[in-house]
Copies of this chain bind each other. A is one copy, B any other.
Amino acid sequence: MELEDLILVSVDDHVVEPPTVFDGRLPAKYAELAPKLVRRDDGTDAWVYGQEVVQNVALNAVAGRPPEEYGFEPTSFEQIRPGCWDIDERIKDMDANGVLGSLNFPSFPQFCGQLFARTPDKDVALAMIRAYNDWHIEEWCGTHPGRMIPCALPVIWDAELMAAEVRRVAAMGCHAVTFSENPAKLGWPSLHSNTWDPFWAACEEVGTVVCMHIGSSSQMVITAEDAPIDVMITLTPMNIVQAAGDLIWSPVLRKFPNLRIALSEGGIGWIPYFLERIDYVYHHHKAWTFQNFGDQLPSQVFKERIITCFIDDNFGVESRHHLNLDNITWECDYPHSDSTWPHAPELAMKHFAGVPDAEINKITHENAMRIFQYDPFAHVPREQATAGALRARAAGHDVGLRTTRK
């Protein structure tokens, strides 16, 4: 495989929502209640919704920023790349990075739409979620057909409404929904509760993948108050192992045998060890804990049903035959600080040295296409979909580092 021939589909990127999300998408009676992006006295931009003010944190939109300028301070839209929030600019940034397709997670509403879940009037909240999802599917993903994989917000406060929204957006072509890696940490029932069953059932029915992104339990790993930030940055993705353990031992996957769950930004190099550990615990303790996986092992359930992905994980790729090759996907994490933009193809090639082409193709795009029911080639001819062709099209697009300090 040559770098030019890679076809890259990223299953984990992020949209910084533009001010127009709700324009013309709400019932007239709710239009005035929509979240509004406002310029604050300090020059930063923030979403204002009811009594809530949500700032955009710089570290979540640093693509193209010199690393010396990474940080947690709030930002204005002028300080971030237009590709963070402008779909036309985003496509150019994807082209320049050789990336064909992209699944985007939300920013200001949080991964599970917690902002809307806190709305006292739940009719209003539901209208906001639907408007957001309509915008996401029609505008963010529909403007450049074949380039974006839609991913819906969940109606997390009501599992029946949640199921209905999953079915509604599936009819619009959306087969991914965000959820929490641990809803119990957000104050909702845990994965061990049957509360979510209507939601799981709907996802299973319409073939929608439940995406649990790292950090979606809002539980950062803080080892000590005086620990440097590097500790948290190192451990946050590794925290997903807790979600994996919680999920495998929960009834969810056994009760809904066709449900699939993605561990977004979860990495893959830790998984072979985890699978060996979970089978060891099963063999060693089931006699008194009464776990029952029938004729399967916990590791088999994981391999069949859990969608994995990685940004930069040489060891994980080297260990890929301990995973299910059909469920490994790739991601870019644009525009977050762990992103490999605009050098994704170069880093991918480093991972893929010695990997057969058929395996590379599964990991880079074929698995994502099948799993998310995403067919870019209906819109983009295959020969125009390669990293080489996309980059050629983006020739002249500025991808240099730009200072954002004033």
Contact = CB atoms under 8 A, between A and B. Distances in A.
Secondary structure at the A interface, as helix, strand, loop or mixed, is helix
Interface in A242-290: 242-243, 245-246, 248-250, 267, 269-270, 272-274, 276-278, 280-282, 284-289
Tell me the number of copies of this protein.
2
A267 to B, nearest CB: 7
Given A231-B249, A245-B231, A249-B234, A226 B285 contact: no
B234 A313 contact: no
A39 to B, nearest CB: 26
A322 B312 contact: no
A191 interface: yes
A221 interface: yes
Nearest to A68: B287
Given A191-B224, A233-B281, A285-B233, A313 B245 contact: no
A238 interface: yes
A246 B274 contact: no
A107 interface: no
A63 B63 CA distance: 54
Task: Give chain A's interface residue range (CB within 8 Å of chain B).
Answer: 35 or more
A59 to B, nearest CB: 9
A281 to B, nearest CB: 5
Given A233-B285, A319-B319, 8 more contacts: A68-B288, A184-B226, A238-B277, A267-B273, A269-B276, A273-B313, A284-B337, A284-B338
- Of all A-B residue pairs in the complex, the 3 with the closest CB atoms, nearest first, are A269-B273, A190-B224, A184-B224
